């Protein structure tokens, strides 16, 4: 997880202009928007070419939009492609470790991403989707566009807050270009990558999303956005039913995320070498594709609602189940990609199934299956991916129907709240949880981890041997000289804290030693602890100061930290983050 420094830095005068003027940051965001749109277009085009070459399609055809595939291509391509992917990825992982994605970069690293690592992730995603694994390209779009943005921002030496916003601009441009939804792309950045909305970030993110959309529309040979059929008007009762759809979507979304984790655990339990797992996963996906080609790749081709929903309900339900299984197998076996596209398709299928089934059971409802496909698409996506406003705007920009967007908003709010209440994670943050991270959003908490006890402590600690007689201690440390002294044993190990006023107490037997008045012998701080850990330690021990030791085993004293200093540093850092968020520099 190494971050390479920028290969160059722009001249100092230009850096100063960009750092000093918000309009300059907007211009830089506009450039990132164009780059993000190109990234989405180029990556999508490469995958389309791979599908033509590997699966024998005609140019312009989408893999997941096929009715049938040559069984030999369907099985061997993801199988052999998975083997090659596994071998190369295992080698790269051993050399570089795990790459940081935009959410983790903004949450923990102040927007710092590796450009080389982002390019590797994008290529892995292209290959995974190109050989038919049931994963989406959106992870590659956002990774590469945000990686380029981070690289450019570091070349300009942007402040931490500005760099985080620029990373969000890259993600916004990629999503806006991929889905034909500039508002959806902008709110994807606010909700999922930046973790907050502010007036200061509105202009750069909005500009990047708009130019990402326009660039993709200008260069893409075919429509990228979601296509829908003609929708009938919704009734008032549809708003209530949309809430029910949101509830079921949350239940399914939680099951899907747990299913991916269980699939990954199952592949590990098979004790196959990591390089072989994608081959097995690809073989299984290939077998499923022989039944339903719609499960392959991101599912974008299947997400043309004017065509796929002409199928009988039984076939739609079969595609829904097989696509869910294929996505869990693909991600669990190690293929690289996201669940955004897949969750859109699954949600659309689930909404269609719900509406048709409800009409059979309760004909008087007259639910429009196409409308509920949009509602279900948004509700399941927000459960898995997060971002209620993101999905509401994608639905609005896809249909142009404001009343439908109202029903979508109800569904996504309920879906998001139920998921948050009973699961607590989106898919991205759930993956962090499985790795041992504690973050649940892209909100900037990295500064807390950077503000460690080692950075806050005073290294000039006054110490005394633990067997020092009280009378000698009084002479060495008269009242007013200091408040507390650290006691150490004959080997220099921490023994406890001596309070100077207590040592000078009139009722204390002066014939004793400081060992008799030790405090906090088993309470101390470690240098790697964060400021929050330190504050919790002060609260737990009710102490005003604690010694800092190298580790719990050797117990060598490194410094001293007071509660007042820790709180002051925490307050100052919090205020800086608040001012950065509001654009007050």
pLDDT, tens digit (0-9, with 9 covering 90-100), for 485-506: 999 998 889 999 999 988 888 5
- 227 bridge partner residues: 304
Lowest mean pLDDT among 101-110, 130-139, 206-215: 101-110
Mean pLDDT, range 60-73, rounded to an integer? 84
Residue 133 has pLDDT above 60, yes or no: yes
Length of the chain: 585
pLDDT tens-digit readout, 464-480: 999 898 888 988 998 88
CA distance 180 to 215: 10
- Mean pLDDT highest for which of 179-183, 380-384, 480-484? 380-384
CA distance 46 to 40: 10
pLDDT tens-digit readout, 397-444: 888 888 888 999 999 999 999 999 999 888 878 777 666 666 666 666
Q: What was the pLDDT predicted at 232? A: 63
| Band (5; pLDDT cuts 50, 70, 90) | very low
Residue showing tokens 């739609």: 316
CB under 8 Å to 94, separation ≥6 — which residues?
Answer: none
| CATH code that applies to domain 449-576 | 3.10.580.10
pLDDT tens-digit readout, 558-584: 999 999 999 988 888 877 766 666 555
- CATH topology (fold) of 236-434: Clc chloride channel (1.10.3080)
Q: Are strands 494-499 and 484-488 parallel, antiparallel or unpaired?
A: antiparallel
- The segment(s) of the chain belonging to CATH 3.10.580.10 are 449-576
Our CA angle for 52, 311, 178, nearest 5°, is 45
pLDDT tens-digit readout, 269-297: 998 899 999 999 999 999 999 999 889 98
- Its sign, for the CA torsion 425, 426, 431, 436, is negative
Mean pLDDT of the chain: 87
pLDDT tens-digit readout, 30-43: 999 999 999 999 99
Backbone angles phi, psi at 12, to 5 degrees: -55, -40
Q: Are strands 463-465 and 484-488 parallel, antiparallel or unpaired?
A: parallel
CA distance 187 to 580: 19
Q: Which of 27, 2, 253 is nearest to 105 (CA)?
A: 2
DSSP for 189-210, written as a single string: IIIIII-S--HHHHHHHHHHHH
| Band (389; pLDDT cuts 50, 70, 90) | very high
- CATH topology (fold) of 12-225: Clc chloride channel (1.10.3080)
Q: Which of 170, 150, 161 is nearest to 577 (CA)?
A: 161
Q: What was the pLDDT predicted at 224? A: 46
Question: How much of the chain, in percent, has pLDDT values that exceed 90?
Answer: 54
- CB < 8 Å & 24+ apart, contacts of 27-30: 28/152, 28/153, 28/156, 28/166, 28/204, 29/165, 29/166, 29/169, 29/203, 29/204, 29/205, 29/207, 29/208, 30/207, 30/208, 30/211
Backbone angles phi, psi at 163, to 5 degrees: -65, -40
Q: What was the pLDDT predicted at 335? A: 95
Tokens of 149: 């943005």
Distances in Å between the Cα of 100 and the Cα atoms of 118, 273, 373, 511 are: 8, 24, 34, 61
Mean pLDDT, range 140-148, rounded to an integer? 95
Q: Which of 107, 138, 97, 91 is nearest to 3 (CA)?
A: 97
Please report, in angstroms and rounded to a whole number, the separation of the first and last CA atoms in the chain: 31
- 452 bridge partner residues: 530
Q: How many helices (H) and strands (E) does the chain have?
A: 24, 5
Tokens of 335: 């293929």
pLDDT tens-digit readout, 511-535: 788 888 899 999 999 999 988 889 9
Q: What was the pLDDT predicted at 557? A: 92
Residue 390 has pLDDT above 80, yes or no: yes
CA distance 352 to 234: 15
- The segment(s) of the chain belonging to CATH 1.10.3080.10 are 12-225, 236-434
Residue 236 has pLDDT above 80, yes or no: yes
């Amino acid at each position: 997880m190494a971050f390479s420094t920028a290969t160059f830095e722009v001249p100092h005068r230009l850096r100063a202009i960009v750092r000093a003027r918000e309009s300059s940051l907007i211009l830089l965001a506009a450039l990132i928007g164009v780059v993000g749109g190109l990234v989405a277009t180029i990556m999508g085009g490469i995958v389309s070419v791979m599908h033509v070459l590997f699966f024998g399609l005609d140019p312009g055809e989408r893999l997941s939009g096929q009715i049938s595939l040559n069984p030999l291509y369907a099985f061997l391509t993801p199988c052999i492609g998975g083997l090659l992917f596994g071998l190369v990825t295992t080698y790269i992982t051993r050399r570089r470790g795990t790459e940081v994605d935009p959410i983790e970069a903004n949450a923990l690293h102040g927007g710092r991403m590796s450009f080389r690592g982002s390019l590797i992730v994008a290529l892995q995603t292209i290959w995974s989707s190109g050989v038919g694994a049931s994963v989406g390209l959106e992870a590659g779009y956002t990774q590469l566009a945000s990686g380029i943005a981070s690289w450019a921002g570091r070349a300009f030496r942007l402040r931490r807050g500005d760099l985080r916003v620029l990373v969000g601009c890259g993600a916004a441009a990629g999503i806006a270009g991929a889905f034909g939804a500039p508002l959806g792309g902008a709110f994807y950045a606010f909700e999922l990558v930046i973790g907050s909305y502010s007036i200061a970030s509105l202009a750069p993110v909005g500009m990047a999303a708009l130019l990402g959309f326009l660039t993709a529309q200008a260069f893409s040979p075919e429509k990228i956005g979601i296509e829908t059929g003609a929708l009938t008007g919704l009734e008032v009762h549809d708003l209530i039913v949309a809430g029910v759809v949101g509830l079921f979507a949350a239940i399914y979304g939680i099951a899907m995320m747990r299913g991916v984790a269980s699939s990954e655990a199952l592949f590990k339990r098979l004790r196959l070498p990591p390089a072989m797992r994608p081959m097995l996963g690809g073989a299984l996906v290939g077998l499923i594709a022989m039944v339903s080609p719609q499960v392959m790749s991101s599912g974008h081709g299947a997400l043309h609602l004017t065509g796929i929903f002409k199928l009988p309900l039984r076939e739609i339900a079969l595609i829904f189940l097989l696509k869910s299984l294929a996505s869990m197998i693909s991600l669990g076996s190690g293929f690289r990609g996201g669940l955004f596209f897949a969750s859109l398709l699954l949600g659309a299928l689930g909404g269609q199934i719900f509406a048709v089934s409800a009409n059979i059971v309760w004909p008087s409802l007259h639910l429009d299956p196409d409308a509920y496909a949009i509602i279900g698409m948004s509700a399941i996506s927000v459960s898995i991916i997060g971002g209620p406003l993101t999905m509401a705007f994608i639905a609005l920009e896809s249909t142009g129907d404001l009343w439908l967007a109202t029903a979508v908003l109800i569904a996504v709010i309920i879906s998001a709240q139920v998921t948050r209440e009973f699961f607590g994670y989106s898919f991205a943050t759930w993956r962090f949880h499985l790795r041992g991270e504690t973050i649940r959003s892209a909100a900037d908490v990295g500064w807390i981890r950077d503000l460690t006890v080692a950075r806050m402590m005073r290294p000039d600690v006054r110490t005394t041997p633990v067997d020092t007689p009280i009378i000698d201690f009084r002479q060495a440390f008269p009242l007013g000289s200091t408040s507390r002294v650290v006691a150490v044993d004959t080997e220099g190990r921490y023994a406890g804290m001596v309070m100077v006023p207590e040592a000078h107490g009139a009722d204390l037997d002066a014939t004793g030693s400081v060992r008799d008045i030790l405090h906090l012998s088993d309470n101390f701080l470690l240098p790697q602890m964060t400021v929050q850990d330190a504050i919790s330690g002060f609260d737990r021990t009710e102490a005003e100061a604690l010694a800092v030791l190298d580790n719990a085993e050797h117990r060598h004293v490194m410094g001293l930290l007071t509660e007042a200093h820790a709180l002051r540093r925490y307050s100052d850092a919090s205020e800086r983050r608040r001012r950065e968020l509001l654009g007050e520099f």
